Structure 1
Amino acid sequence: MRPVVIYSSDWCPYCIRAKQLLTSKGVTFNEIRVDGQPDVRAEMTRKAGRTSVPQIWIGDTHVGGCDDLHALERSGKLDTLLQA
């Protein structure tokens, strides 16, 4: 399984939903919290080109946010991306 990284915030409902989906699929992930860490948020923004959380990577592929992750799941492409 490819490594998964998720930049998140403790209070963000979209972060919680994204982590729930990954957990329900048995996916372990490296969670990087941006709360109170402007340098970490700036790193995420530079890498993703977005300021919102969550921002999710599967391997070297930037998936995007929660809605993007769920769209991959609905289309049947998430499992393939995780296994690639």
Structure 2
Amino acid sequence: MPKIEIYTKSYCPHCRAAKQTLGRMGIAYREIEVSDDATLFNEMKTRSQRRTVPQVFVGDVHVGGNDDLQRAIRNGQFEKILESQTNAV
């Protein structure tokens, strides 16, 4: 299974939704809480080119925010990303 990382803020409902979705799918992830850490927030901005949370990464692939994650799951793209990153590990 590839490394899955999700940048979050503790009070963010979209972050909670993304984490719940991954949890329901049985997918383990590393949560990176950026609420009070400017260094981690800047890391997220650099990696994603976005300022909003959540930001989901599968290996080296940036999936995007919660809406992007949900869309990728619905259209089968998320499964393809998982497969491609599993093979890359």
TM-score scaled by structure 2? 0.89
Q: Which residue of 1 aligns with 2:2?
A: 2
Q: CA deviation at 1:15?
A: 0.3
Q: Does 1:34 align with 2:34?
A: yes
Gaps of 5+ in 1: none
For residues 47-62 of structure 1, the aligned pairs below 5 Å read 47-62=47-62
Aligned-pair RMSD on alpha carbons? 0.9
Q: Distance in 1 between matches of 2:77 and 2:43?
A: 27
Report the number of matched residues. 84
Q: Distance in 2 between matches of 1:83 and 1:24?
A: 18
Q: Distance in 2 between matches of 1:62 and 1:9?
A: 18
List 4+ stretches of structure 1 deviating above 2 A: none
Counterpart secondary structure, 2:81:
helix
Gaps of 5+ in 2: 85-89
